[in-house]
Every structure is written in C-alpha cells, then in structure tokens.
Amino acid sequence: MLIGICYRTPTEKVYDFDIHSAFRKMLHEVADSNFMLMGDFNYRNINWKSKKSNVCDSCASVDTKMFMECVQDLFLMQHVNCLTTDRSVLDLVLSKEPDLVYDVRNFGKLANSDHNWITWNVNTWGREQSTTRVSYNYTAMDVQGARKELKLVDWQSELVGSVDEVWDKFKTRLLQLQDKYVPRFNHTKKKKEVWLTHKAIKSIRQKHKVYRRYKDSKHPACIKATKRAKMEVKKARLNFEKKLADSIKPDTKSFFAYVKSKSKAKVNVGPLLDSNGHSIDSSEAMSREFNEFFASVFTEEESGTVPEAGKIFNGREDEEFCDIVITQAMIVRKLEGLRDDKAGGADELVPRFLNKIKEEISFPLLLIFNMVLEQERVPEDWKEANVIPLYKGGSKSLLSNYRPVSLTSQVCKLFESIVKDNLVEFLEKHKLIRVTPHGFRKGRSCLSNLLTFFRKGTVSGG
C-alpha cells in the first residue's frame, strides 16, 4: 500500500509552477493503486458531509472546485468529516477504499497549532496464519447412493416420539448421509481467480515454459508468449465481468462477492470495549459481549397485553380456517425453491444438500410438520440461530455499531413458508385483507403503494 503525506501551502508564489495542476496530476498517477494520502490540503469551502455532487460553496475558488472534481472523477474517498480548524476541514485523508479508514477521532487543538489533532485506524490485509478449513463438495456428491439409502428407510416406524426426538433422528440420519456420500476437501491453497478460464491458464503456463527454455524475456519467443498470455487473461476477465453485469438482477450475491474480493481493506470485528471500558480482543470474549448486547436490545412482547381482534369473517362455519393442509408436493416445491448459495442454521443442513434429496425427504418432513402442528411445539434446533455481527459504521470498538444477522434452520423456514401460504390463501380467498396494505403481499411493494397514492392524488386534484 502506498502511504503519502501532503502539505499544500496557501502561499503559492513560492513555486514557479502551477501547484494545483501538479497536485491533481499526482492524484491521477496513484488513483489505480491501493493508497492513503493524508495531510493539510488547504482547500476551503468544501462540505465533505454533503451527499450531493456539488459540495463546494459558492465562494469556493476555481482551484478548489477543480480539486473536488478530480476527487469525484477518480472515485476517491475522503474520510475526515469533522472540523480540523475552527471553521474548515483542511486536513484530509484520501483513499480508494471506503473501508480502509475507520474510527476517525478529533482530540482538539494540538499544542499551539490552529489545527486539531486527528487520529484514525487503518484496515489492511495482514499476513494471516495458515489454517485448514474442511468443506463439502456437493458437486461431486453421490446423489443416487444417498437417494437409494433413503428409500430403504421406514420413516413411519422410525419417527416415533416427541417432536425433539423425531427431529433429532431425522437430522442425525441426514448428517450421516452427508458424511457418507458427500466428499470433503481442504482449503489449503490459494484459489485461482474466478474469471480465469482454462485457455488463459494454459497460455500462462506456456509463457512460463518458454521463459524456462530461453531465459531471456526479450527473446522473440518470450515476447510472443507473454503477449498472447496477456491477451487471453484480459479477454477472460472482460468476458467474466460482462457476464456478471448481465446477470446482476437475478444474482446480486455473486456480483457483490466479486466486488468485495477486489477490496484491499479487510473489515475485522473489534477489538471491543466492555461496559467497564476495558479492551477485548479474544474471539470467545467478544462473542459473549455481542450475545449479551444483542439480547439486551431484543424487544420482548408482553403476551398478556395482546389486543383481541374483532371478527370480520362472514362465511359459513365449515369455511373457517381450522386446519393447515400440508402435502408432499408442497414440500418438494418449497425445497426446489431453496437457494443453493444460502447458509444453513444451527442444524448444519444446507439447502444445496436438501435440494438434491428433496423427493426422498418430503415424506419424513411431512410427518414432522404434522407432528409439530399436533403437539403445538417446534424442535429446539429451530429456535437456535448462528448470529453474525455486521459492522455498520463508526467506531469498531462500540457494540452499538454492529447489527446481528441470524442464520436459522432452513427446514424451519420451509415450514413457516407453508403455514404462511395457507393463511394468506384463506385471507385472500375470503377478502379479509383490505386493499390498502402493500407490504408482504404477492405482487405488491413500496412502488405499487406509491403509484396507487400518486394516481389517487392526481385524480382527486385534477
């Protein structure tokens, strides 16, 4: 990473050249690098907190406006928003990465200077310890073998007992099948770039082979091989990025994962400050602090104060909503709709595995779902979640600057979806939902709500 310190004197007459032009030229030279440029830039009348494109005041100089245009054209990030003097932000920190600099603090005047003392932290890709992570290769799964074994199971006689006992039996069998029929591999080597094609890799290997033979990078054969390898690599990357851009709507996750992989700043969690102001950096201690904090801000509803809803159903008694109908076809359809890129919950059952054996597990899931409805109780696994703290912004040492993301059981989500479909179908059929709500309804959204309001407003006003 390039680190630079800048001081631009407001007395421009000491130079025999255009200091502003030279400064902008320097920014263009380092714009494609991972860099951090800090110092006293002495550009006044810029509102760095503004989200608009025009952030310069009307009284700003021409050079100030040209500097701001340069920063915006190069997509640079300016991380200091607090005043560094009595009335202006003159001391800046520029970089290409929005997450490179965090926790910027202003400690007031520095000795007899008219500038304030500014500190900040920097995120960098430090050298990590080599660790081995084991993962399942579901692409090479023996699907036929797993299906054949599942067909031999007598689920009626095996799934007997309480809801928790039945769920544990089902989950244990699936996890055993996963270990038996899904091969595992170790993440020990650095993965190649996702956009590298077989043809590009072959051309790179050919370039290395030619160089080992001639030992001269200026040899015509080496120049030709290098030129061809560069062309194939460039072509592979452009084709991949074009394909990624074309499919951004149905597959936003792949797009943002690729963008994140290009970031030079690694966003870490912590270290945190506990209630006594002590620093915590161990994973176990930070997990406890997050758990206590997230639990403290969780809203618990008082069951005794739930208002009673008035009866608005005017149908016959035999048409009332009494039973939730669940069929194997429903379960298979829901399993097919699970996204393979989603993570599993505390039960460790991932959608990619469940989808491959959907026909064989639809019947045992039907038995489990009906048992949950009959006993009016869900398995304990469905109440647990893997909670991941996501950094929102501000100081990384404050617990309030993180929000929790819960990864719950995919089977529980499937059951909830079926129950919701039954309930919504009944409400829609008997027109028990007013036409005004647009949230959480099929075919409706915030956009449809705004359009409806706009149409009614223009009709009544015209």
The domains of the chain are located at 2-122, 145-186+268-300+319-431, 198-261
Looking at residue 167, what is its pLDDT? Answer: 92
Taking the C-alpha atoms of residue 245 and residue 251, their distance in angstroms, rounded to an integer, is 9
pTM, entire model: 0.66
Closest to 330 in 3D by CA, of 371, 368, 366: 366
Looking at residue 130, what is its pLDDT? Answer: 47
Looking at residue 319, what is its pLDDT? Answer: 74
Instruction: Name the CA radius of gyration of the chain, rounded.
Output: 30
Taking the C-alpha atoms of residue 56 and residue 64, their distance in angstroms, rounded to an integer, is 8
Residues in the chain predicted with pLDDT less than 70, given as ranges, are: 14, 16, 51-54, 125-133, 187-191, 264-267, 303, 460-462
- pLDDT digit string, tens, across residues 208-241: 998 888 888 888 899 999 999 999 999 999 999 8
Please state the CATH superfamily assignment of the domain spanning residues 2-122 in this structure. Answer: Endonuclease/exonuclease/phosphatase (3.60.10.10)
List all residues 6 or more positions away from 143 whose beta carbon is below 8 Å from its beta carbon: 181, 356, 357
DSSP category for residue 207: H
In this structure, are residues 123 and 267 in contact, taking their beta carbons and an 8 Å threshold? yes
Looking at residue 461, what is its pLDDT? Answer: 55
